Structure 1
Amino acid sequence: MAAQTANLRPLARSMSTALTTLRTTTYRAPVNRSAITLPCYMRSALVPRTQSRHSSYHSPEPVTNAPNARKKVTMVTLRNLYRKGEPIAMITAHDFPSARAADESGMDMVLVGDSLGMVAMGLENTTEVIMEEMLLHCRSVARGAKAAFIIGDLPMGSYEVSPEQAVQSSLRFIKEGRVHGVKIEGGEELAPTVKRITQAGIPVVGHIGLTPQRQNALGGFRVQGKTSAGAVQLLKDALALQEAGAFMLVLEAMPPEVATLITSKLQIPTIGIGAGNGCSGQVLVQVDMTGNFPPGRFLPKFVKRYADVWSEATRGMQQYREEVKSRQFPSPEYTYPITKEELSKFQETVDQTYERLRTGRE
């Protein structure tokens, strides 16, 4: 065995040297590839790729090494924005295309919110979303958002039982979902849970005010903090979560004055959604703000529609349908050519080939 290992060492050194040469050398045609000692399956990597891809099933990875590519947003980046008083822009995403759009738009943070249960899965509310579904969507978003800081929403039932359960769920989000941190809904009663998650080295975003996962206990999707007692409780929740280690808080559906006062008492940034512009940043559901929904659908008061994706998408699909029905599509520019010689050969043999195959099956 020792002799066999010794015999393999020169080959290993040769391959290591060749790989180092490939990494550090810029090759320009013509290249003397025969001078590179590599196995045949590795030499193919040197062949220029000139073949076009003839398939619709292609989702290219974002280009991260372009000269104008954004730097990766980190916890340090977010703290610096907060320290400078520059608002933090966050938006939701639930799949590869929506993540790409968010990243290309320069968003600081992308939230894989459990709101995807309604906007992407057609569920009645967020309480129906399960862990495996969130992990699937998180992985899809992580493939598309290469610069933004990604937060995954822990679904209902994945953290309430115990702090240990919450840590296990959070670890799955980081390892399997490939997000950078997790969001958890609840106030001071969840402070021990937030503390345990942060002790495991996982960034946590708290979420207080209107917490959709608890909408049954709240009597529906209702504005919170409209009374003095209610506002005081929100402040207590915020301070408790900050003390537990949350690095950011989402403040949802509360009077802007209350959100502004809470923000002023904290040493961590707040992200508002229906909480006014006195927060450290804002978040909206991407499907809502881009208008990717049919006419007549209910929208919360705090949603501003910045685009009309639904109308543009349906207009395009209606035109496509009409052109399919009238055989206008596909026109010649959308087809692949064949030479007259090859077509003539095919035409000469098509009947004989068809008849032979048909009689052979009978």
Structure 2
Amino acid sequence: MSIHKSEIKKITTHQLQEMKVRGEKISMLTAYDYSMAGIVDKAGIDVILVGDSASNVMAGHETTLPITLDQMIYHATSVVKAVDRALVVVDIPFGSYQGNSSEALRSAIRIMKEAGAHAIKMEGGEEIKDSVTRILSAGVPVMGHLGLTPQSIFKFGTYTVRAKEEAEAEKLIKDAKLLESYGCFSIVLEKIPASLARKVAKEVAIPIIGIGAGPDVDGQVLVVHDMLGITHEFKPRFLRQYADLNAVISGAVTNYIRDVKASDFPNEKESYK
């Protein structure tokens, strides 16, 4: 028996909080287009992140910095149309919120109104307090992001593990508690020591989603193109590849080319009379 759309229970920020309390892990993946979002949502994912990683995997940029707010809204709009169940969180891109809380609010409202997103995600801690509180005051749910923050790559100068030194670890814990106190509903921790991530997950009440942050957090997120093996060049330690779609797609295209060249496609059954 097929399930009607109206019977599908949508994931909310409140449900994510309940999942943490129950000890139920939260599953999260990226998606940037209608087709992929539909597959991921129907498979039962809890959260879909329309990440600014679209800058890398969809547009071929070296960093996440070049992607614009308009481009993020385009990707988010495509994703939202395909989703019946998952909570859709959208990254506010670099340059659309830093240092200007009025611009941050405008960016967040555009994402919510034009794309129909359910929440936004922002990188940083205490330094983005004004933007976070202003967006939250407008009723827009905010997910934080600490640890390796790709929008600050030129400040860090490297994609290596963050918060290994005591001072940076202490700041990360402080920032996590601050984001919770501002009203963020969840925080992504990227590429930090597992022991530190475990400590943060225990010391804050909101769900902590890890990527390269060990198993002792409240959920996990990966870039869908990485975990499906579409992008072959990127193989960090934290990535588990669940398929090799690069080989599958390449093989299919090779076979298609062969059949076209040999006049085997289309055959009689594939032609109209």
Number of residues paired by the alignment? 272
- List gaps (5 residues or longer) in structure 1: 1-62, 338-362
1:65 matched to 2:25: no
2:5–2:84 Cα contact (<8 Å) kept: no
Report the Cα offset of residue 298 of structure 1: 3.0
User: Residue 220 of structure 2 aligns to a residue in which SS?
Assistant: strand
Structure 1 residue 163: Cα displacement = 1.1
Paired position in structure 2 for 1:227? 165
Query: Would you say 1:329 and 2:260 are equivalent positions?
Result: no
Please report how far the alpha carbon of residue 187 of structure 1 lies from its aligned counterpart in structure 2 after TM superposition.
Answer: 1.2
- 2:179 maps to 241
Candidates 41, 44, 49, aligned match of 1:111: 49
Return the offset for 1:204. Answer: 0.2
State the TM-score, normalized to the length of structure 1: 0.73
Q: CA deviation at 1:113?
A: 0.3
Name the CA distance, whole Å, in 2 between partners of 1:105 and 1:221: 31
Once residues 74 and 135 of structure 2 are traced to their aligned partners in structure 1, the CA distance between those partners, rounded to angstroms, is: 21
Within the alignment, does 1:264 sit opposite 2:187 as a pair?
no
Amino acid at match of 1:104: K
Partner residue in 1 for 2:28? 90
- CA 1:200/1:164 → structure 2, altered by over 3 Å: closer, same or farther? same
1:169 to 107, 119, 138: 107
Match of 1:153 in 2: 91
- Measured in 1, the distance between the counterparts of 2:202 and 2:177 equals 11
Counterpart of 1:250, as a letter, is V
Q: Percent identity between the aligned chains?
A: 39
- Give unmatched runs, 5+ long, in structure 2: none
2:142 to 183, 204, 211: 204
Aligned Cα RMSD in Å?
Answer: 1.4
- Greater relative CO (CA pairs within 8 A, separation 6+): 2
Query: C-alpha distance in 2, partners of 1:240/1:293?
Result: 35
User: Is the 8 Å Cα contact of residues 192 and 244 (structure 1) preserved in structure 2?
Assistant: no
What amino acid sits opposite 2:14 in the alignment? V
Moved >4 Å (runs of 4+):
none
1:318 corresponds, among 240, 248, 254, to: 254
Distance (whole Å) between structure 2 residues aligned to residue 234 and residue 333 of structure 1 = 63
